[in-house]
Structure 1
Amino acid sequence: MDYQTLTECDFFRFVSQNTEAAKIRIAYDEFSQTIFHSYVEAGNPYRLLFALIYAEVELQSLHDTLSDEKDGKAAYLKKALALVRRMLENLQTQVPPLSAIPLNNSPSSFRWTGSLVELIEVIYALDEMGCINDGQNDIKELTAFFGSQLGMEIKDSHCYNAYTDMKRRKSESRTYFLDRMRERLNLRMQRDDAKERARR
């Protein structure tokens, strides 16, 4: 769940435009249902928590801007704001603070045996493809995660310097490691195909 999911509902668009009250009411109902479904189905309660916090800020801003309106917008904004705040209160009693999450300090049985630049190349490629959390990551968080899983400490300066080195490469393709990976994986599949043909 992206933190902007709730603010992308029609309700936010309708209350900021000249929309008739009936449509705003329907959009408010859909907004409420989205919150309730997200609450019930929350696989990651922190994502819902962040989405509610973001929605609260946006609703408060809209309410402050439109509080003098007499066409019902302010009333629905007030209701939506109250709902989001009640859900936040309820969720916060069930979700421990991030600082309370125990870190897994057991050493991993896996370690990176390639070069740091090669690992950074893979991490940047995964980030660019949006393969982890739909691409909603900070590259520093990703490098810290991979480093912790593979027994490496990757400082921000290491990450930046490695990426800068990659960009300075003069070849037609600057993704040396990814190119070698692609080539080696294709060769492996060709070998497997040849073995299968030999068994027939």
Structure 2
Amino acid sequence: MKETALRLLEDLETQLKEIELAKKETIEHVEDSIRKTISVLETLKTNFVKYKFESKKDEISFFRDIKPQFVSKLIYYNEIYNIMTNKPFGGNKTLRKYYTGELAKLKSFYTENVEFFKYYRNGNTYLDNKYFVRGRYDIKLTLDSFYFQADSRFSTSHDFKVAKIMANNLIQNYLESEIVKIENKAPLFNLTERQVQKWTGTKIALIELVYALHAEGVFNNGASDLKETAKFFEEVFDVDLGQFHRTFFEMRARKADRTKFLNSLRDTLVRRMDEVDEI
């Protein structure tokens, strides 16, 4: 099931990128993206309901790590559609107030779900059997009302909340970029040729580093989305990481030394420290 889902996700991301390139930052772009995501989600569900997990661990992995990546895209594009169609007429001051208000809504969601947010971002697993297994909901664990109307074959009590967290990170980026446009701020990066640092190591090594830093939660207090973090590194180091999700799963499958690059970094740094001590 995991391989099927990952192939669908890869295809979806490719098609969404093509839509973006053809109709960037337009209502049509968002509408087409919503329709495409719904279509792929229906395909995922059709495949899913026929599948029986071999273990609870596999079921948890699907609802915690895989399904939210699909649903988050639908939430994101739907919210962007609402933001775009409800945008008020007026000058920069009016628009800035509008976007700031939308950012405040994201903050409210975080405040209302702060305990789960910390649980998820810190990589905790002790409640996964309740959060990400079907039919194991606990009313005391902050349930969304929609859960009781959702298809119980394809939903757990908290997989939608994970998707919402992912989507909110992307929505925040969108809103902040719109505010930057209003304020005519300089680009985030305006480097001279001599200042550019091009990544000359392997892509696998950089992907290993990106995943490690994201897992540690060192960006935006742990609130950064993995895809946006990877995109940031691609832009900064002028490198295309490709299907980094697939590369990560290949790294996980290594029989030995799964963190080869990180181990090498540690050893190199220790040697440098030893050399300095000897001077």
Classify the TM-score, shorter chain.
Answer: 0.3 to 0.5
TM-score of the pair, normalised by structure 2:
0.35
Q: Which has the higher contact order (CA 8 A, sep 6+)?
A: 2
CA radius of gyration, larger in? 1
TM-score of the pair, normalised by structure 1:
0.47
